[in-house]
């Protein structure tokens, strides 16, 4: 332990803030959570309540190191939105988490000896998966996070690819139907619209409000639920097949809440991919469930900061 480096990772989500103290070998010393919002905070344009919660989580995690806070060598923050080119703040995050855009985390967290980095949450999840999870040892990966919307990230030759203006991996905004409704980025008929939880009420004609409820009805043999769910999974398979054609990864990883449907998702997805995936010489691209769930973003942010963090 004496020669190993330790980092704190924070994942700022819409409902919960997750924090970890982690060793560079993947061993997690401590996990903590805190609600993101309260009624008071929802009326606070600056986001002071959740910013303070993050500050307190970082202090508590520092105290968890057996040799003292001075042994923490890096702090990483995962958050929705687009980070700036130096990965020290979120540059663009319209409409949610007021006060996040352009906020200087290094000054707020009083970072001195430790390095600091800020990363998109889906990209952070891929760092965790490629370091210790389903993608360990694989150099070319795409990850999709399936939840309220659809996020994603790309690993090329073992390195996280963030692209121009750090936008790479926003797979939810590829188009599956040019005549479909416009999504939040102006893309018609997006993958996010086809599978994301945010549009489920409309896709199910008002029948279901959550994917868990839909999947439970599907498992119970409800024919209408089967139509809604399998159509969503078919659209997902077409989106994945398109991304495989464009990026030719060695592995596709699926994370997020919808991936917790397990065989109800992965069994029909496999059948659809057999039809839609291009398989030269019968070579198929494996699709795996993410190893980490709630704490993937925090773990990945910590590991990214150990490797690339800014002082």
What digits encode the pLDDT tens for the residues 162-202?
A: 999 888 999 999 999 998 888 888 899 999 999 999 999 99
- The candidate with the shortest Cα–Cα distance to 79, out of 91, 63, 66, is 91
User: Alpha-carbon distance 103 to 90, whole Å?
Assistant: 7
As a whole number, mean pLDDT of residues 44-65 equals: 81
Residue 45's pLDDT is 47
Given pLDDT bands bounded at 50, 70 and 90, which one contains residue 15? confident
Compare 42 and 115 and report the one with higher pLDDT: 115
Structure tokens at 9: 């990772």
**46 pLDDT more than 60:** no
Residue 146's pLDDT is 94
pLDDT > 90: percent of the chain: 58
pTM metric for this prediction? 0.90
pLDDT > 70: percent of the chain: 92
Given pLDDT bands bounded at 50, 70 and 90, which one contains residue 94? low
**Assign residue 298 a region: left if phi > 0, alpha if psi is -120 to 50, beta otherwise?**
alpha
Residue with tokens 């959550």: 210
Compare 23 and 216 and report the one with higher pLDDT: 216
Residue 228's pLDDT is 97
Given pLDDT bands bounded at 50, 70 and 90, which one contains residue 95? low
Residue 41's pLDDT is 45
Given pLDDT bands bounded at 50, 70 and 90, which one contains residue 34? confident
Given pLDDT bands bounded at 50, 70 and 90, which one contains residue 296? very high
**39 pLDDT more than 90:** no
Residue 44's pLDDT is 47
CA distances 15 to 35, 255, 297, Å, are 6, 17, 14
CB contact set of 307 (below 8 Å; sequence gap of 6+): none
- The candidate with the shortest Cα–Cα distance to 123, out of 165, 173, 81, 74, is 81
Dihedral Cα 77, 175, 231, 154, nearest 10 deg? -40
Structure tokens at 57: 């989580």
Residue 113's pLDDT is 59
User: Alpha-carbon distance 121 to 97, whole Å?
Assistant: 14
| Cα–chain center distance at 280 | 30
Given pLDDT bands bounded at 50, 70 and 90, which one contains residue 101? confident
Mean residue pLDDT of the chain comes to: 89
Structure tokens at 36: 């993101």
Given pLDDT bands bounded at 50, 70 and 90, which one contains residue 141? very high
DSSP 125-180: HHHHHHHHSTTTT-SSEEEEEESSSEEEEEEETTEEE--GGG-TT-GGGSBS-TTS
Q: What is the CA radius of gyration of the chain?
A: 20
Structure tokens at 280: 């030269």
Comparing 43-57, 67-81, 127-141, 275-289, the range with the smallest average pLDDT is 43-57
């Amino acid at each position: 332990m004496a020669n190993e480096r330790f980092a704190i990772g924070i994942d700022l989500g819409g409902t919960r803030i997750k924090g970890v103290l982690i060793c560079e070998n993947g061993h997690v010393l401590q996990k903590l959570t805190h609600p993101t919002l309260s009624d008071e905070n929802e009326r606070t344009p600056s986001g002071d309540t959740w910013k303070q919660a993050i500050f307190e989580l970082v202090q508590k995690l520092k105290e968890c190191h057996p040799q003292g806070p001075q042994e923490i060598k890096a702090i990483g923050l995962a958050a929705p939105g687009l980070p700036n080119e130096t990965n020290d703040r979120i540059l663009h995050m319209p409409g949610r988490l007021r006060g996040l855009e352009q906020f200087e985390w290094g000054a707020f967290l009083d970072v001195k000896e430790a390095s600091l980095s800020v990363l998109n949450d889906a990209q952070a999840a891929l760092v965790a998966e490629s370091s210790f999870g389903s993608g360990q040892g694989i150099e070319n990966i795409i990850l999709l996070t399936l939840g309220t919307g659809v996020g994603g990230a790309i690993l090329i030759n073992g390195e996280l690819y963030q692209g121009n203006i750090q936008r790479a991996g926003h797979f939810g905004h590829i188009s599956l139907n040019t005549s479909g409704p416009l999504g939040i980025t102006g893309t018609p008929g997006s993958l996010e619209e086809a599978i994301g939880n945010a549009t489920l009420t409309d896709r199910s004609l008002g029948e279901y409000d959550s994917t868990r409820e839909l999947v439970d009805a599907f498992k119970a043999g409800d024919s209408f639920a089967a139509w809604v769910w399998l159509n969503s999974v078919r659209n997902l398979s077409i989106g994945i097949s398109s991304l495989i054609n464009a990026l030719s990864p060695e592995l596709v990883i699926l994370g997020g809440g919808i991936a917790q449907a397990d065989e109800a998702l992965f069994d029909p997805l496999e059948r659809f991919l057999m039809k839609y995936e291009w398989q030269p010489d019968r070579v198929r691209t494996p699709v795996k469930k993410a190893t980490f769930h709630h704490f993937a973003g925090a773990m990945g942010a910590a590991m990214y900061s150990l490797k690339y963090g800014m002082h």
